[in-house]
Amino acid sequence: MNYSRKMKTKFIDIEAGKLISIIHEKDAKELGLFLLDRVELINPETKKTIITVVDITDSMVKQNEIGLFEDVKKILGLRKPKEITVTPVSTPESVKFIKKKMDGESLNEKEIKEIVKDMTNNYLSQIEASAFVSAVYIRGFDLGETISMTKALVEGGEKLNLNKKFVVDKHSIGGINGRATMILVPIVAANNLLIPKTSSKSITSAAGTADSMEVLTNINLSMKKIKKITEKVGGVIAWGGSLQLAPGDDKIIAIEHPLNLDPPGQVIASVMAKKVSVGAKYLVIDIPVGMHTKVKTKENAETMAKKFLEVSKEMGIKTEVLLTDGTKPNGPAFGAALEAKHAMEILEGKIFDNLAQKSCQLAGTLFELTGKTKKGKGYSKAVELLKTGKALKKMKEIIKAQGGTINSSKKIKLSSKKIEILSKKSGKVERLDLTLLKDIARTAGAPVDPKAGLMLKIEEDDVIEKGQVLFEIHGENQRKLEIAKMLALKNNPVKLGGVVIEKII
């Protein structure tokens, strides 16, 4: 039986980003509170209430004082320091479910929903959230749990209600470069499918689809706007980051990232939740396989693909998974503007390279899934839409509908500064180090500087001469360009082999 205490508030003028209050160690002892235990705070005037975890200090607040950060102060509706009621409360039930998972038991839908809800509401500490993510990583998710997690993530977020039959979507798992989405979306929309595509900004790559699309048009669209544009022109390419689709997913990723964890069950739930949230009924998933991509081996990709299909079935989405070659770059461009320009040149019919082909394969798969074409005819239909300029026309409509005007490759401004990297010897291009190419682009300023990046001037298997340009490094900041150049010269990402097969004397 814990009794309540009145305590005087002390404001701490920063945003903690977490629901924390700070109490003196003597008060903590009296209230029986340990670091990260929880208290309920009530503002007796506004009757507003909140539960926070406690941090314990012997200096920041005095005895009988409680320190409140901006976030907590706002929720309680406090303008100036006054007395509030502080009551210790027990650990939330979700912590018991986390323990259950740690102990190796499967969690049911209710339990997973409770954990996700508490994580989304910042109600679990980082210690508790990390224990959950660690347990999921170590114990794994079975199919039922993956489905429950998908549903839990959907439940906590916004939803797009198009109420149409032919809502389709595409997802790519951790490729390195190339904007297939910007080619696929207009092809698909040009064939009367609806594709309300949300995409991400770069975290570790040189550019995300949202970064490249932002070079052409506005990507910060509300759910209402996404719905309206999709209904009008058939396709959208928006930034998903501010949309509150499956916000619980962001919380989980924030834990996974510092530990460098990607539990497959969680990855699948994360992807599927977003697809369910936008109302997709047909889905094509691209898993690039290779040493530089997220999925390193064909076996892992196949296991993952199987699970995607199982969860899709349960969620009522007709899905096909394509394993693609992740050992080669998707086109020569790395960086937001360069990748946008390359995608536009494909749409304009100037280039038909492996990125164009891959985009047509993915689009064609959606045509076959939806029955828009017969089996085996999807790819050629996609190529036709691309070559006849219908996809380009659709892309222009999309750019305009989203509020932008940069609707051709020529209108895209590239960096005024660039550095060419020349080959120090002759030979045959045996291998490209994609991770290093991406790192050079980032060192040059990508993704913050949209014009920064790298443009390959050679391909694998090319036979090149000493002094030939291997790639250009672009960027607006001269110092960064120089550092990127140093990196490129120190660790050459273009691996050459000898071209001479036989030498006859």
Active site residue ranges: 262
Contacts with 122 (C-beta within 8 Å, 6 or more apart), sequence order: 18, 19
Residue showing tokens 């907590």:
72
101 neighbors 95 (Cβ within 8 angstroms): no
- Interface with its own copies includes 259 (CB under 8 A)? yes
80 neighbors 89 (Cβ within 8 angstroms): no
302 neighbors 417 (Cβ within 8 angstroms): no
Nearer to its own copies by Cβ, of 89 and 138: the residue is 138
Alpha carbons 271 and 266: distance in angstroms, whole number: 9
- For its own copies, the binding residue among 7, 39, 72, 131 (CB under 8 A) is 131
Alpha carbons 169 and 284: distance in angstroms, whole number: 7
Nearer to its own copies by Cβ, of 355 and 441: the residue is 441
Stretch that binds its own copies, among 134-142, 170-178, 363-371, 397-405 (CB under 8 A): 134-142
Amino acid at 260: N
Residues between 48 and 77 with contacts to its own copies, criterion CB under 8 A: 55, 57, 59-60
214 neighbors 184 (Cβ within 8 angstroms): no
DSSP helix/strand/coil, 22: strand
- Interface with its own copies includes 255 (CB under 8 A)? yes
- Interface with its own copies includes 35 (CB under 8 A)? yes
- For its own copies, the binding residue among 64, 85, 87, 91 (CB under 8 A) is 91
Stretch that binds its own copies, among 249-257, 334-342, 358-366, 384-392 (CB under 8 A): 249-257
- Interface with its own copies includes 139 (CB under 8 A)? yes
Alpha carbons 453 and 440: distance in angstroms, whole number: 8
Stretch that binds its own copies, among 1-9, 105-113, 282-290, 311-319 (CB under 8 A): 1-9
- Interface with its own copies includes 374 (CB under 8 A)? no
Environment class of 110 (CB within 10 Å of its CB; exposed 0-12, middle 13-18, buried 19+): exposed
> Hey, which bits of 424-484 come out as E strands?
427-432, 453-456, 463-464, 469-474
Q: Which two three-digit tokens encode residue 350? A: 């100037």
Alpha carbons 363 and 352: distance in angstroms, whole number: 15
- Interface with its own copies includes 98 (CB under 8 A)? yes
Site mask, its own copies, residues 268-287, x = CB under 8 A? --------------------
Nearer to its own copies by Cβ, of 83 and 314: the residue is 83
Stretch that binds its own copies, among 30-38, 146-154, 237-245, 267-275 (CB under 8 A): 30-38
- For its own copies, the binding residue among 9, 43, 125, 319 (CB under 8 A) is 125
Nearer to its own copies by Cβ, of 258 and 316: the residue is 258
Nearer to its own copies by Cβ, of 85 and 327: the residue is 85
469 neighbors 420 (Cβ within 8 angstroms): yes
DSSP helix/strand/coil, 132: helix
- Interface with its own copies includes 463 (CB under 8 A)? no
DSSP helix/strand/coil, 243: coil
Residue 483: CB minimum distance to its own copies, A: 5
183 neighbors 303 (Cβ within 8 angstroms): no
- Interface with its own copies includes 487 (CB under 8 A)? yes
Stretch that binds its own copies, among 129-137, 171-179, 333-341, 464-472 (CB under 8 A): 129-137
Nearer to its own copies by Cβ, of 196 and 447: the residue is 447
- Interface with its own copies includes 82 (CB under 8 A)? no
Stretch that binds its own copies, among 314-322, 383-391, 418-426, 481-489 (CB under 8 A): 481-489
- For its own copies, the binding residue among 11, 37, 327, 348 (CB under 8 A) is 37
- Interface with its own copies includes 99 (CB under 8 A)? yes
Residue 56: CB minimum distance to its own copies, A: 9
209 neighbors 199 (Cβ within 8 angstroms): yes
- Interface with its own copies includes 145 (CB under 8 A)? no
Contacts with 270 (C-beta within 8 Å, 6 or more apart), sequence order: 153, 246, 249, 252, 253
Pure H helices in 77-142: 93-102, 109-120, 126-139
- Select from 185, 365, 150, 133 the least CA-distant residue to 274: 150
Query: Which stretches of the chain bind its own copies, using CB under 8 A?
Result: 1-3, 12, 14-15, 17, 26, 29-30, 32, 34-37, 55, 57, 59-60, 91, 95, 98-99, 102, 104, 125-131, 133-135, 137-139, 203-204, 254-255, 257-261, 439, 442-443, 445, 447-448, 479-480, 483, 486-487, 490
